[in-house]
Chain A
Amino acid sequence: MGAGSSDRAARRAEQAEAERQEQMRIGEARVNAAYDTPARQQQYADFLKAIREGFMLDANRQKAVADRRLKFALARAGQTRGSVETDQKRTLGEEFTKGIIGSENRAQGALADLKADDENTRQALISMIRSGADATTAASRMMSLGAANAEGARSRALTDGLGDIFAGTTDVYLRSEDAAARRRGARDAQVSLYGKPFTG
């Protein structure tokens, strides 16, 4: 009598729960499929390619400037085609290589940030689906989804940039600049002492 009635309600509840479990399974599969699409994988590859191109563009420009500075510095110091030139070029090449490795490291970090951002969102979605329609907490988690990682990826790639990869290696160039400055100073001193520049 009473037991039969509650059995029917229990059966209906069981059926509803089974349907919910099935919907949950479908929902989770849908979320995973959305993030595992070849299109999204291609987006990661494109992002990495863009960062690499950006860093290479910067690195090549820095290298061109450094090469030019070194060429003139060596010529000014009379050390063209000498061992100093070979040494300086080797150092420049090593620093360039180091810069490239550093840039690749940064590019991989930016990609990891982007993927981590997607993973966080994927987990938030799955958590929502698992919590069901009574998921007030999960819904608020979804609403508070931040842009931290994606923004970090962008910032790592753009704002931080490649930096000056030849900052500490332009020895000859710097010494040459110093020497030029000393010569200018000596000439200016002669002007004020004797009224005319020393012409040699």
Chain B
Amino acid sequence: MGTEAVWVPYALAALGAGAGAINARNVAKQQERIQVRGIAAQARRQAEADARFADATREIGRSSPEAERAEALDNFTSQLRASKASAEGDASGPAGSDRYQTEAAGAKADIQRYGGQLADITSRINAPARQRDREKVGLRRAGSDVAGIARNAQGDAFLTQLLAQSVRPNTALSIAGPLLSGAAQGMAGGGWGTGVSSEELVAGQRAGMETIMEGLHRARRTPIVI
């Protein structure tokens, strides 16, 4: 074997290192793809939550106390009608003079007018508080919906993390990398491409070892002089 084959161990070492690098790059790329998908999923959840809040906010913008006012007024008016006779008092007994009758009729009208005014005012004062109760019910519903979206987003994030962590390097490349590097080291250590035969190399190594052992043996027998 000639010295021209000396590059082979280097090439194998490079291949081994390359296989490791390709593996690491593939893992990183796959994790990055998972992360990008995860970010997009989070953005979709965010958009979902934003849309839900936008709806709730628009409801507030459109909200008016009119429905509550009309309902309250209707209830008050019904009650006034039901209690009209009691409010006007007992009408039995002698009819009385014309003047008395006119005044009595006026008093009855006053009672009705006062009742109407009071019902109108009370319903207008009540309505804004009822309106806000209704708005808060809507907002509590929105809050509940968004809490559900938040839970889904947390689930998505956990899944993304799990997927990214579970990415494994390619098995064939994982095995090939160290094998190639080992082979390269072995070949370089064996004097691949240097022009020396393996028998000569072994003989040389053995002679070297014997020299080292002899030196050690001599050193043990030499007394120490201070």
Contact A5 B121 (CB under 8 A): no
Contacts of A50 in B (CB 8 A): 121, 124-125
User: Chain B 10-49, CB within 8 Å of chain A: the 1/0 string?
Assistant: 0000000000010011001101100110011011011111
Cβ of A167 under 8 Å from chain B: no
Q: Which A residues are CB-close (under 8 A) to B117? A: 53, 57
B46 touches A133 (CB 8 A): yes
A2 contacts B125, CB within 8 Å?
A: no
Residues of A within 8 A of B114 (CB): 57, 61
Given A9-B32, A34-B61, A121-B136 in contact, is the A133-B118 Cβ separation under 8 Å? no
Contacting pair A27 B50 (CB below 8 A):
yes
Are B28 and A23 within 8 A (Cβ)? Answer: no
Residues of B within 8 A of A54 (CB): 118, 121-122, 125
**CB-CB < 8 A to A39: which residues of B?**
64
- Given known contacts A12-B36, A50-B124, A147 and B133 CB-to-CB distance under 8 angstroms: yes
Report the bound CA distance from A138 to B118 in whole Å.
41
Expressed in whole angstroms, the minimum distance between the Cβ of B14 and any Cβ of chain A is 16
Binds A, one of B141-149, B174-182, B186-194, B210-218: B141-149
- Report B88-127 CB contacts with A as 1/0, cut-off 8 Å: 0000000000000000000000000010011001101110
A41 at the binding interface (Cβ < 8 Å): no
| A81 in the interface (beta carbon within 8 A) | no
Chain A interface residue count: which class? 35 or more
Q: For the complex, is B140 an interface residue (Cβ under 8 Å from A)?
A: yes
Contact of B42 among A16, A35, A143 (CB under 8 A): A16
Docked CA distance A143–B46 (Å): 19
Assembly CA distance A57 to B128 (angstroms): 20
A183: CB under 8 A from chain B?
Answer: no
Q: Which residues of B contact A100 (CB under 8 A)?
A: none
One of B29, B46, B64, B142 near A23 (C-beta < 8 A): B46
Q: Given A5-B31, A27-B57, are A16 and B139 neighbors across the interface (CB < 8 Å)?
A: no
Number of interface residues of B (CB under 8 A): 55
A147 contact set on B, CB distance < 8 A: 129, 132-133, 136
Q: How far does the alpha carbon of A151 sit from the alpha carbon of B47 in the complex, in Å? A: 34
Interface residue stretch chosen among A65-73, A91-99, A122-130: A122-130
Query: Chain A 28-41, CB within 8 Å of chain B: the 1/0 string?
Result: 00110111010100
Q: Assuming the A-B contacts A19-B43, A133-B149, are A6 and B32 also in contact, with contact meaning beta carbons closer than 8 angstroms in the complex?
A: yes
Closest to A30 in B: B57
A140-B147 CB under 8 A given contacts A9-B32, A23-B47, A151-B129: yes
Interface stretch, picked from A82-90, A152-160, A171-179, A186-194, is A152-160
The answer to whether B129 and A133 touch across the interface, beta carbons within 8 angstroms, is: no
The smallest C-beta distance from B191 to any residue of chain A, in angstroms, reads 35
Most buried by A among B65, B122, B129: B129
How distant is the Cα of A59 from the Cα of B114 in the complex, in angstroms?
A: 13
Decide: A118 and B25 in contact? CB cutoff 8 A: no
Q: List the B side residues contacting A157 at CB < 8 Å.
A: 125
Which chain B residues lie closer than 8 Å to A162 at the CB level?
none
Query: 13 A-B pairs, CB-CB below 8 angstroms?
Result: A1-B28, A12-B36, A12-B39, A16-B43, A19-B46, A53-B121, A57-B117, A124-B139, A133-B49, A142-B142, A145-B140, A147-B132, A153-B129
Which 4 pairs of residues, A with B, have the shortest CB-CB distance?
A: A142-B143, A50-B124, A34-B61, A5-B32
Apart from A6-B28, A13-B39, A141-B143, what are 10 other A-B pairs with CB-CB below 8 Å? A2-B25, A16-B40, A35-B60, A47-B128, A53-B121, A57-B118, A133-B46, A133-B146, A142-B139, A150-B128
